[in-house]
Amino acid sequence: MAEDRMAVLDMLRKATADGNVDVLREGVRVLAEAIMEAEVSELTGLPKGERAPERRLTSRNGSSGCSKMLRMVVQASGAPVIALALGARGMPATIDDRLTVVRQLVAVIRAAGIADDRIYVDPIVMTIATNTESAMIALETIRRVRAEFPEAHITSGLSNVSFGLPARGLVSRTYLSLAVSAGLDTAILDPLDRELRAALLATELLLGRDRHCLTYTRAFRAGLLEVGPAVKAPA
């Protein structure tokens, strides 16, 4: 590792002297990867590329993040961390496999000194048009993440679930209500979608999170719950 770092540093010095931006950029990339590999090996106790028998999805340590690099980025930006339930081999098919990925990610993030309340777990909902179980898988993943990591946030993109379907807004709004009930507390959505906002307010109301129904009634008085006119079906 030390020899590799010295070689890269020597290359960077030459590139800087020659003004070669492409070589400089590549050198920075290689150095960052070398540092990340060393950190992950230290964290996992495995040499680069070695399989951990108890890990089915992140089967090689090179697929994990780097605690030191993560700490540097977060401290510099002050930003929270999004943890995608995405394995080294792609999208985990089962709830248990997604939970395995989330646990491994949270372990790395915690090792970087980042508190759970700065973590946003994304269970990654896929379109229901190609798999009618995709929404149920995402919803159950949300429930289990909420139970296991109560201080962490859970986020999700809403438009994915309805991709390829007619009346996508209806599907997305319904998924939002179900996801909030399961433990979702943030979402990637269109803030100008009045119907989506109305659905969210009604969901919070029905879940007992709107004390004395004040938020809902104030939104109604402000005209925020009004939606477009109903569309009649063709005769």
Q: Is residue 143 part of a domain?
A: yes
pLDDT above 90: percentage of residues in the chain: 46
Q: What is the DSSP string of 125-191?
A: PPPTTT-TTHHHHHHHHHHHHHHH-TTSEE--BSGGGGTTSSSHHHHHHHHHHHHHHHT----B--T
- Each residue of 16-37: pLDDT tens digit? 666 555 555 555 556 556 655 6
Q: How many domains does the chain have?
A: 2
Assess whether 196 and 184 both reside in one domain: no
Q: Is residue 209 part of a domain?
A: yes
Q: How far apart are CA 124 and CA 179, in angstroms?
A: 12
Name every residue whose Cβ is closer than 8 Å to that of residue 170 and which is 6 or more positions away in sequence.
162
Residues 194 and 226 sit within 8 Å (Cβ to Cβ) = yes
Q: Is residue 66 part of a domain?
A: no
Assess whether 143 and 222 both reside in one domain: no
Q: Is residue 146 part of a domain?
A: yes
Q: How confident is the model at residue 80 (pLDDT cuts 50, 70, 90)?
A: confident
Q: Is residue 12 part of a domain?
A: no
Assess whether 198 and 184 both reside in one domain: no
| CATH number of the domain that residue 96 is part of | 3.20.20.20
Assess whether 105 and 185 both reside in one domain: yes
Q: Is residue 181 part of a domain?
A: yes
Count of residues in the chain: 235
Assess whether 159 and 207 both reside in one domain: no
Assess whether 203 and 177 both reside in one domain: no
Assess whether 126 and 201 both reside in one domain: no
Q: Which two tokens stand for residue 218?
A: 């104030």
Assess whether 159 and 175 both reside in one domain: yes
Residues 225 and 201 sit within 8 Å (Cβ to Cβ) = yes
Asked if the model's pLDDT at residue 172 lies above 50, the reply is yes
Q: Find the angle CA(176)-CA(115)-CA(45) to the nearest 5 degrees.
A: 110
Asked if the model's pLDDT at residue 82 lies above 80, the reply is yes
- Which amino acid is it at 25? R
Q: Is residue 65 part of a domain?
A: no
Assess whether 180 and 147 both reside in one domain: yes
Weakest-pLDDT range from 11-15, 47-51, 52-56, 97-101: 52-56
Assess whether 213 and 112 both reside in one domain: no
pLDDT of residue 216: 96
Assess whether 218 and 136 both reside in one domain: no
Burial 77-105 (b: 16+ CB within 10 A, else e): eeebbebbbbbeeeebeebebbbbbbebb
Structural domain containing residue 221:
192-226
Rounded to an integer, the average pLDDT of 212-227 is 91
- Each residue of 143-155: pLDDT tens digit? 999 999 999 999 9
Assess whether 93 and 166 both reside in one domain: yes
Q: Is residue 160 part of a domain?
A: yes
- Which amino acid is it at 229? P
Asked if the model's pLDDT at residue 40 lies above 60, the reply is no
Tell me which DSSP letter residue 63 carries: G
